[in-house]
Structure 1
Amino acid sequence: MKALVLTGGSGVRLRPFTYSTPKQLMPLANKPVLDHVIAHVRALGATEVCLLTGDWADAITEAMGDGSRFDVTLTYLRQDRPLGLAHAVQSARPFLGDDDFLMYLGDNILTDDSGEAAEIVGDFRQHRPAAGLVVQHVADPRAYGVAEVDTDGSVRRLVEKPSRPRTDLAVVGLYYFTAAIHRATDAIKPSARGELEITDAVQWLIDQGEQVSARRYSGFWKDVGRADDVLHCNRRLLGELRTDVRGEIDPASELRGQVVIEAGARVVRSRIEGPAIIGPGTLIEDSRIGPGTSIGRDCVVRGTHVSDSVVLQGAHIHTSRGLRGSLVGRFATVGPGEQGDPDHHFVIGDHAQIEMTVV
């Protein structure tokens, strides 16, 4: 089966990080978002995968390679401008041909511990509706495509970001399509915001009498659009880790819970409480690392406490004030300054320098 993974989003809500890195390459449990996406796509049965890119084409191609490490074949196509999800399908037509395919939003994380998503996709592949939607009950559906679904699972109406939703069923960023979707994307017109909406294309199929089905998904689903979403997804994925210690741990240090210490990392006179992961080449010295923390490669963390945080490659943290619920960019420095400061929650961009002192 084929899969189309969309990676062209600009990531405005994740700035300043997305000035230098696409959000699809933000690390979660020390792996880019796209690593988790492609691994899940493969688990769902896809072996031919197209990454539809935008401005970050070169960075994404370099990071993801040919797909062999995921046991898939990766093809790269470019969408010159982000003109909507239906336009993305049009842009990928040379890859898709007339084959059935999955479409997966490349900034979405779905964990499938119970195999629920795989069961849903298997059902779509067996019955082959023109379009298959994965939906989930949400507290506030106004920010999503919202489906009205009959008791037999048939979709009778689909609306994009309605101000007054008729249901609480949001469309998850995983779709199943047959070749019928191509007629739909060619038939619709741009929306008021100037985009070809996939919701309009699916509604066109419904209006033409085509079968559009929905299946409810109750597992974890979130996109990494904001800093809090990154931290939430990171915590969730860290919870799936198994303890694996390949780095150096001195006798004065202690590890508790699910902890991964990658090769080349050193832990000196420190305590690490999982779930947590320490990247290769990183030094943790005289520090406490709390649950929910990912520290990337070649970092230095000294004399501090870090918990529920994501620290990217090459960052240096050496302050007596701890960090909690923070994102620290690549090669950023958090160190002592001259003035007092309260407890800290930060979003720190690449190459930034933050000075903190104790009153």
Structure 2
Amino acid sequence: MKALVLAGGSGVRLRPFTYSTPKALIPLANKPALEYVVAHLRELGARDICLVVGDWADTISEAMGDGSRFGVRLTYLRQERPLGLAHAVRTARPFLRDDDFLLHLGDNVFPDGAASIVEEYRRTRPATGLVVQQVADPRAYGVAEVAADGAVLRVVEKPAQPRTDLAVLGLYYLTAAVHEAIGAIAPSLRGELEITDAIQWLIDRGHTVEARRYSGFWKDIGRSDDVLACNRRLLDDLVPAVDGHIDAASEIRGPVVVEPGARVVRSRVHGPAIIGAGTLIEDCLIGPGTSVGRDCTVRATHLSDSIVLQGAQVHTPRGLYGSLVGRYATVGPAEPDEPAHRLVVGDHARVEIIAA
């Protein structure tokens, strides 16, 4: 089966991290998000996968390769501008031909998998099959109105006043019927060809469009809080492995991965947690839900429920929790005679300081 992955988003809501890293490659449990997407598609039966990429095309192709290490074949398609999901499908028509295919958003992660839903769609072959889930605030998503038998009556993109709380998640089963629909619709008010408009076109003309509720964990990693929540969930599946060095004064508790070349010195690491290759953890308490990337230095710090990216240095006695530290960033103490906090903060960054 074929699959199309949209990995060309600019990641505006994840700035400043996406100034230097494409959103699809943001690490979750020390692996790029896109690796989880590809693994999910392989689990769903897709072996021929096209990644639609934008300005980060070279970076993504270098990171993901030809797909052989994932057991799939990866090809790349450049979308010059992000003009909507339906536009990406239209651009990929030479790859898709008239085959049924899966459309997966590159920033949507499904750790529990959607195999049973996709298997049903492959058996029954509706014109379109949606995966939906109840959300607290559906205004940021496509929203589906679904009959008791699963038939989709209406689908609207990011409605100001949603008529249901069923969000359309970033995994679609599509047939060749969608190409006619995309050819018939016009760009939306925001100038994009919306996949929801194409699906509504199919509904209005009597095609079978169905939805199935997904009860597992799912995240669109568009915001830092969602990245942290997804990291926590993925760490729950961690298989313990210690390939680095842990000295006699240190303690490891729970599921912990210490990658090759990493050193844990006079520290406690309480899993689930992962310590990246070449990283030094010294005089620290590393708490659950923490991923520390490769080649970092973390000293005299209590760190929990956080992600520290490659090459960062963290040394703060007050500790950090719920934090996302960027690549090669430095978090450290001020000089003893400094009268106040001293910060170098980049564009779109957020800093929260405990009041004295």
- TM tier, shorter chain? over 0.9
**Number of residue equivalences:** 349
Asked if structure 2 preserves the Cα contact closer than 8 Å seen for 1:328 and 1:349, the reply is no
- Structure 2 residue 55 is the aligned partner of structure 1 residue 55: yes
Q: Determine the C-alpha separation between the residues in 2 that align with 1:61 and 1:348.
A: 30
Q: Any idea what the Cα deviations from partners look like across 1:180-235, whole Å, max 9, x if unmatched?
A: 10001111001111110000000001111111011110111111111111111111
Q: Any idea what the Cα deviations from partners look like across 1:87-122, whole Å, max 9, x if unmatched?
A: 01001111111110000000111111xx5x100000
Deviation of 1:142 after TM superposition, in Å, equals 1.5
Residue in structure 2 matching 1:165, options 162, 166, 182: 162
**1:169-318 equivalence runs, <5 A:** 169-318=166-315
Identify unmatched segments of 5+ residues in structure 1: none
Asked if structure 2 preserves the Cα contact closer than 8 Å seen for 1:329 and 1:349, the reply is no
Deviation of 1:341 after TM superposition, in Å, equals 7.0
Matched residue type, 1:151: A
Q: Determine the C-alpha separation between the residues in 2 that align with 1:153 and 1:105.
A: 22
Deviation of 1:319 after TM superposition, in Å, equals 2.4
Q: Determine the C-alpha separation between the residues in 2 that align with 1:323 and 1:151.
A: 47
Identify unmatched segments of 5+ residues in structure 2: none
Matched residue type, 1:280: A
Distance 1:260 1:27, change over 3 A: same
Asked if structure 2 preserves the Cα contact closer than 8 Å seen for 1:154 and 1:213, the reply is yes
State the partner residue of 1:7.
Answer: 7
Q: Determine the C-alpha separation between the residues in 1 that align with 2:164 and 2:223.
A: 25
**1:70-85 equivalence runs, <5 A:** 70-85=70-85
State the partner residue of 1:102.
Answer: 102
- Structure 2 residue 149 is the aligned partner of structure 1 residue 127: no
Q: Determine the C-alpha separation between the residues in 2 that align with 1:243 and 1:340.
A: 44
Deviation of 1:340 after TM superposition, in Å, equals 6.7
**1:29-40 equivalence runs, <5 A:** 29-40=29-40
SS in 1 for 2:238: coil
State the partner residue of 2:333.
Answer: 336
Asked if structure 2 preserves the Cα contact closer than 8 Å seen for 1:327 and 1:347, the reply is no
Q: Percent identity of the aligned residues?
A: 73
Deviation of 1:165 after TM superposition, in Å, equals 1.5
Deviation of 1:333 after TM superposition, in Å, equals 1.2
Asked if structure 2 preserves the Cα contact closer than 8 Å seen for 1:328 and 1:348, the reply is no
Distance 1:348 1:245, change over 3 A: farther
Q: Determine the C-alpha separation between the residues in 1 that align with 2:345 and 2:308.
A: 9
State the partner residue of 1:149.
Answer: 146
Comparing 322-331 with 24-33, greater Cα deviation is found at 322-331
Asked if structure 2 preserves the Cα contact closer than 8 Å seen for 1:249 and 1:267, the reply is yes
Deviation of 1:75 after TM superposition, in Å, equals 0.5
Q: Determine the C-alpha separation between the residues in 2 that align with 1:305 and 1:224.
A: 25
Q: Determine the C-alpha separation between the residues in 1 that align with 2:22 and 2:134.
A: 29
Deviation of 1:321 after TM superposition, in Å, equals 2.2
Deviation of 1:167 after TM superposition, in Å, equals 1.2
Deviation of 1:139 after TM superposition, in Å, equals 1.3
TM-score, normalising length: structure 2: 0.94
Matched residue type, 1:2: K
Q: Any idea what the Cα deviations from partners look like across 1:58-79, whole Å, max 9, x if unmatched?
A: 1100110010111000010011
Q: Determine the C-alpha separation between the residues in 1 that align with 2:205 and 2:318.
A: 62
**1:320-335 equivalence runs, <5 A:** 320-335=317-332
Q: Any idea what the Cα deviations from partners look like across 1:238-293, whole Å, max 9, x if unmatched?
A: 11102111111111000011101011111111000011000011111111111110
Q: Determine the C-alpha separation between the residues in 2 that align with 1:68 and 1:168.
A: 39
Asked if structure 2 preserves the Cα contact closer than 8 Å seen for 1:17 and 1:349, the reply is no
CA root-mean-square deviation: 2.0
Matched residue type, 1:98: D
SS in 2 for 1:229: helix
